[in-house]
Amino acid sequence: MQNNEIRLYGYRWVILAIFMFVNLTIQILWIAYAPITVVAAAYYSVTDLQIGFLSMVFMIAFIPLSIPVSWLLDTYGYRLAVGIGVVLMGIFSLLRGFAGQNYPLVLWSTIGIAAAQPFLLNAWTTVPAKWFPLQGRATAVGLVTLSSLLGIALGMVITPLLVESLAIATVQLIYGALAAFSAILFLILAREKPPTPPCAAGEESRALMLDGLKHALNNRTFWFILFISFIGLGIFNGITTWVESIIRPRGFTPTDAGTLGALFIAGGLFGAVVLPALSDKQAKRQRFLLIAFVGAIPGLIGLTFATSHILLFVSAVWLGFFLVSANPIAMQYAAEITYPTPEGTSNGLIQLFGQGAVVFVYIMEAMRSSDGTFTPSLLLAISLLLVSALLVTQMKDV
C-alpha cells in the first residue's frame, strides 16, 4: 500500500449506528412528556407548566455544560465523553421510571438526563471526523440528525399510545430500559478511532480546544453559521411547540395538527439524508445551504396562510425537507471552515446557539395576535429565513 492511500473500515458503520441509537434514545426521553402534558399533570398532581419544565430543562442544562463538554470531547476523545453521557442517560432514565408519581424525584432524574445531552449532541461532527472521509461526513452528520428526528417522532407518537394502557411511570421505565440498553451497546462497541485515519496525513490533527475556540470566533463566516443555525433551529422549535395553536384559528383540528407535525418531521427525515449526501457528492456546502434556506421559504409561507388540507400538508413536508437539511450541512461546513478548530468545539457552539434559540419560541407567543393567530411571528420567521439566505451568499466553500 502506498503512503497516500487511505483505507476506510467497514466498522465505521457500526460506530455510526450505535451513535445514532443513543441520540435517538435521548430524544425520546426529552420529548416524552410533551404529547401527554394534561395527563401527566393530573398523574403527578402538578401544573401544565411544571410538566413543560421537564422538557425545557434540557435546553437550560445545555447552556452551562456545552463548552466544558466540548473541552472534554476534544481533549480526551469522544468515546470517553459520549461514554459519560450514555451512563448518565441510562442511570437517570431508569431512576425516572422508578420514581413513580413522585414529581420532585422525576424532576431531579430529568435534570440528570438533561446533563447527559451535551455529551451526545456535541459529538455529532467528531464521530464522523474520526471514522469517515471528508466527502462522507455531511452524510454521516445527516444520518445522526435523522436518528434524532426519528427519536422525536417516536416519542410523540408512541408515548400517548402506551399511556392509554400503562401508567406513566411504567412507560418511563420502559424508556429507561431502552436507554440503559443503548448505553451498554455503546460502551461495548464504541472505538475511538480506526487503526489508520480516513483522511490524508496531517488532516486529522486539530488545535487545542481554547486555541481552536479563539480561531473559530475570529472567523466571520463561522459567526454567519451560528446566526443561521440559531434561526433555523428557532423556527423548528417554534413550529413544533405551537403547531396546534398555529393552525387552529384557520379551522383545523388537533388531529390535523398531529398530521402536520408528523409530515413536518417526515420531510425533515428525508431532507437530512438527501441534501447532505448531494453536498458530499459535489463537495459543496455553501450552495446547498443556500438551496436549503431559499427552499424553506415557500414551505413556511404555505404553513402561514394555507386554508386547505392539501396545501397545508404539502407545505409541512416541503418546509421540513429544506429546513432540517440545513443543520447537518452547516455543522460539517463549520468544521471545515474553522480548521484546525476541533470538531467538538465548532459543533458545541452551534448546538449551544441552537438550544439558545428556545427564545424564539417565547417570541412567537409574545407576538401572538389578539385573535390568537401566529401570523406576525411567522412573517418574522419568513423574513429571518430571507436574511439567512442573504448571509449564505456571503460565504465561500473551502
Nearest of 156, 182, 387 to residue 293 by alpha carbon:
387
**Which pLDDT band, with edges at 50, 70 and 90, does 201 fall under?**
low
Which cell numbers hold the place of 352? Answer: 449551544
pLDDT tens digits along 104-146:
999 999 999 999 999 998 888 888 888 888 778 778 887 888 8
- Residues 257-276 have a mean pLDDT of 84
Superfamily of domain 11-189: MFS general substrate transporter like domains (1.20.1250.20)
Q: Is 209-392 in the same CATH topology as 11-189?
A: yes
pLDDT tens digits along 162-192:
988 999 999 999 999 999 999 999 999 999 9
Helix (H) or strand (E) holding 2: none
Q: What is the mean pLDDT of the chain?
A: 85
Dist. CA 250–CA 307, nearest whole Å: 6
Give the number of other Cβ atoms within 10 Å of residue 353's Cβ: 19
The pTM (predicted TM-score) of the whole model is 0.75
So what's the pLDDT on residue 205? 46
CA 120, 126, 79, 210 dihedral sign is negative
Which cell numbers hold the place of 39? Answer: 395527563
C-alpha radius of gyration, the chain, whole number: 21
pLDDT tens digits along 54-85:
887 888 888 888 888 888 988 888 999 999 99
pLDDT tens digits along 236-260:
878 877 776 788 788 887 667 777 8
So what's the pLDDT on residue 2? 43
Full DSSP string of 179-209? HHHHHHHHHHH--SS-SS-SS-TTTT----H
Is 1.10.3720.10 the CATH classification of the domain at 209-392?
no
Nearest of 20, 5, 42 to residue 86 by alpha carbon:
20
Dist. CA 299–CA 315, nearest whole Å: 4
Give the number of other Cβ atoms within 10 Å of residue 255's Cβ: 9
The alpha carbon torsion through 92, 155, 57, 100 (nearest 10 deg) reads: -50
More confident residue, 285 or 317: 317
Residue 204 has pLDDT above 60, yes or no: no
Give the number of other Cβ atoms within 10 Å of residue 101's Cβ: 12
**Which pLDDT band, with edges at 50, 70 and 90, does 318 fall under?**
very high
Task: Enumerate the domain spans of the chain.
Answer: 11-189, 209-392
- Residues 348-359 have a mean pLDDT of 75
